Amino acid sequence: MYLQVDGMHCATCEAFLESVARDRAGVVDATASYVTETVHVEYDPARLSADAIADALSTLGYTARRRDADDDAATAVGYSRTRETGGRGIDELLGFRYVVGVIFGTFMLLPYVVLFYPAQLSGLFGDGALGRVAGASGIGGGSGLLMLPLFLVLTGVVLVFTGLPLLRGAYVSLKMRQPNTDLLVALTVVSAFVYSTVALLLGRIDVYYDLTIVVAAGVVAAIFYESLSKQRAMDRLTDLTISRVAETRRYDADGTTTTVAVEELEPGDRVLVREGERIPVDGVLAEDGCTVDEAVVTGESLPVSKRAGDEVVGGAVVTSGAAVLAVSDDPSSSIDRLITSVWNSQSGDHGVQRQADRVAARVIPAVAGAAVLAGGWSLLTGAGVPLAALTTLAVVLVGCPWALGLATPLSVATSIEDAVGRGVVVFDETVFERLRNVDVVVFDKTGTLTTGRMEVVEADVPADLLGTVAALERRASHPAAAAIVSAFARQDDAAPSADGGVDRPTDEQADRVTAFTSHATGVEGVVGGTRVLAGTLDLFAQLEWAVGDDVEARAIEARDAGRLPVVVGRDGRAEGVVVVGDEPRAGWADTLAALRERGIEVVVLTGDDEAATEFLDAHPAVDHVFAGVPPAGKTATIRRLQSRGQVTMVGDGTNDAPAIATADLGISLGSGTALASDAADISIVDDDLGAVGTTFDLAEAARRRVRQNNALALLYNGVTIPLAVAGLLNPVFAMGAVVTSGGLLAANSFRDLLDE
């Protein structure tokens, strides 16, 4: 069972939710991935229900629900990248927490600055009695003293409500013994709050309530901004759908058809699929012949002719004729199996622990040790328990690099925003880190290196026949027919007519089609009193139309080159060939060459035969071409390539999704299906193959941004630690360090990523 769990954002979340699931009686195993916000649970239904598992994982602010129950099963993959209410609800709650922090913070900080900052500075530079209410500040016994209890209450509200995500993250990290940046921030704000409260009880005014508010609200604001950035990236792909069928027509015993849910089909049932519709399940063609487009499943760019007894796959589209198929012994769709394959790969794809979390794991024990030693030394020197407690808390306050918790979400959010602005949608903050370690980039051919659209590339046909054939093809639904109509309706130089132009089809000519027959491999009809035939060599032979040696040779040559030859003729004789093919994308060679210059191995993987890949195999930037590979074979090939190093898969189709999910990093083009986009770590919104190279540039720039921000995050400690050692630590200086460090982080983060 797959569960979507909102609220996962780091490797610590994965470990925690896995432990929660495994602690339930009846659970065999659990694997979580914050990259996809998915938990895969294997359990015994006799001992435990799915709802009980979801309830168990809905704890500490996490929200779990059945992934396969999300959205409309017929139109979408239920998954965080296309989620609606779940993700946006979390964003709204984060926003509300941030607003509360800002409102309370603003309410407090104005009088705080006016009343306490002067007193704290006066105490520091006056008679040395730092922080005493009776000092030279002038607020002793006045409104400032009376307001301190109010500051205590309001700061507590901000800490508990606004800072709850931080406190939860800190708790989870302690429970799992995996210190992270949430723990760094939580230690800072809690120690500042406790220090201030103890100081208040001792009659001191060196309180750090302002630091608690500003840090908690600022970090939550950065997390909120990061969440919004990811949501905006998701929204770029909201129009994507998946090739999945919910209902179909089943033949009943009396010969009539009944619309039923696909789930109700049983082995042996007969199903009717009309022209232009998608086949719901795998089966065997029982009657007639038809042409199907299996590209969504197999990756083949050309439609395939099917006859009675041939196997057909669920997810393919009937492009010509109608299909009556017998449901196979396993009444499921190849699409469904592809989805399961993708989900399996995703749920096992653990996120990468962020660099800042690794720093936190090393720093926190050192800070804790220093705090304990300082507090113990204070006790030994007779300072007393209250002052020893203040000393311990002060060490935590100045020693914790809390700003790493601000640097990470700012770095992530601005990098995501910058990438989206360039048409590169990134969903996972670890993508850039993984991209920098890629050794092999694998490209799908159809729809990725090529346009994925059928286009006329050559027409050796008498000019006066072109418009007639296009008029006939207007009544067909085959992709090649659409290409012929489109080409000769817009190209002024496709072929000369008697008057030097193109004999293009018009609505009037289309109306002159007085007879029309759709064959599995072509079309036949009467246009303006002339019988016209367009199709394969086999169709011409079947109907006993004469084909000259020159026409046959051109057709065979085109077919051997991986293109589709459409032989056309009239009145019983072939007169020429229109060659239709799937053309390479603009700039494909430059993209591959640029990757090779980076020292990356380039591999092409396709379901097409070898003839269609000769131009790729001959290119110097391509190291290997694997042709005739089905979806399962693509996944297996990716696994073999992973023995050489980190592998990235670039694809666009549903059939590419399992391979994209299996690869160490997946990239999908904007023309791809929803399943391919869901499986990918990066989605290129436009069909710009050059954006693949841009992602590598962004990855290098993002690394520089992270390093710069992490260095700036330590500025706070670089200021407060020397002040503490010199005995000059003061709330005003500490807040100055907070504002300076945070301001520089923000300024650096919002610079253009590729202008660095």
CA atoms within 13 A on the CB side of 69: 12
CA atoms within 13 A on the CB side of 393: 21
Identify how many contiguous H helices and E strands the chain contains and give both numbers: 26, 26
Angle formed at CA 186 by CA 181 and CA 188, multiple of 5 degrees: 100
Collect all residues with Cβ–Cβ distance below 8 Å to 142 and sequence separation of at least 6.
Answer: none
Do strands 646-651 and 438-444 pair parallel, antiparallel, or not at all (unpaired)?
parallel
**Which ranges of 524-668 does DSSP label H, i.e. alpha helix?**
537-542, 549-560, 588-597, 614-617, 631-641, 657-662
The answer to whether the beta carbons of residues 495 and 464 sit under 8 Å apart is no
Q: What distances in angstroms separate CA 256 from CA 82, 270, 611, one per listed residue?
A: 39, 11, 45
- Where are the alpha helices (H) located in 614-690, listed in sequence order? 614-617, 631-641, 657-662, 674-679
Secondary structure, 3-state, 196-220:
HHHHHHCCECCCCHHHHHHHHHHHH
Return the structure tokens found at 312.
Answer: 């057909």
The identity of residue 553, as a single letter, is A
**For residue 582, which of 602, 605, 558, 603 has the smallest C-alpha distance?**
558
Of the residues 206, 269, 444, 678, only one is catalytic, namely 444
CA gyration radius for the chain?
Answer: 33
Q: How far is CA 756 from the centre of its chain?
A: 26
CB 299 within 8 A of CB 255: no
> 36: alpha, beta or left, given left = phi > 0 and alpha = psi -120 to 50?
alpha
**DSSP code per residue over 484-553:** HHHHHHH-TTSS--TTSS-----HHHHHTEEEEEEETTEEEEEETTEEEEEE-HHHHHHTT-B--HHHHH
Cβ contacts of residue 124 below 8 Å, gap of 6+? 130, 728, 730, 732
Residues pairing with 738 in the sheet: none
In the residue annotation, 329 being an active-site residue is answered as no
Angstrom distance (rounded) from CA 295 to CA 257 = 28
The one-letter amino acid at 104: F
Beta-bridge partner residues of 651: 668
Count of Cβ atoms closer than 10 Å to residue 649 Cβ: 34
682-720 burial code (b ≥16 CB/10 A, e <16): bbbbebbbbbbbbbbebbebbbebbebbbebbbbbbebb
Lookup: tokens for 259: 């619309």
User: How far, in whole angstroms, is CA 719 from its chain's centroid?
Assistant: 40
User: CA-to-CA distance for 595 and 647, rounded, in angstroms?
Assistant: 13
Do 275 and 322 meet the contact criterion of CB atoms below 8 Å apart?
yes
- Does residue 12 contact residue 176 with C-beta atoms inside 8 Å? yes
In this structure, how many other beta carbons lie within 10 angstroms of the beta carbon of residue 423? 17
Residues contacting residue 734 through CB under 8 Å, at least 6 positions apart: 208, 211, 397, 398, 720, 723
Distance, in Å, from the CA atom of 530 to the CA atom of 571, rounded to the nearest integer, reads 7
Q: Quote the Cα angle for 4-101-143, to 5°.
A: 160
Beta strand ranges found along 303-399 (DSSP E): 304-306, 311-312, 317-320, 323-327
Per DSSP, 315 falls in state T
The residue assigned the tokens 């001992």 is: 47
Whether the CB-CB separation of 491 and 502 falls below 8 Å is answered with yes
Q: Which residues are known catalytic residues? A: 444
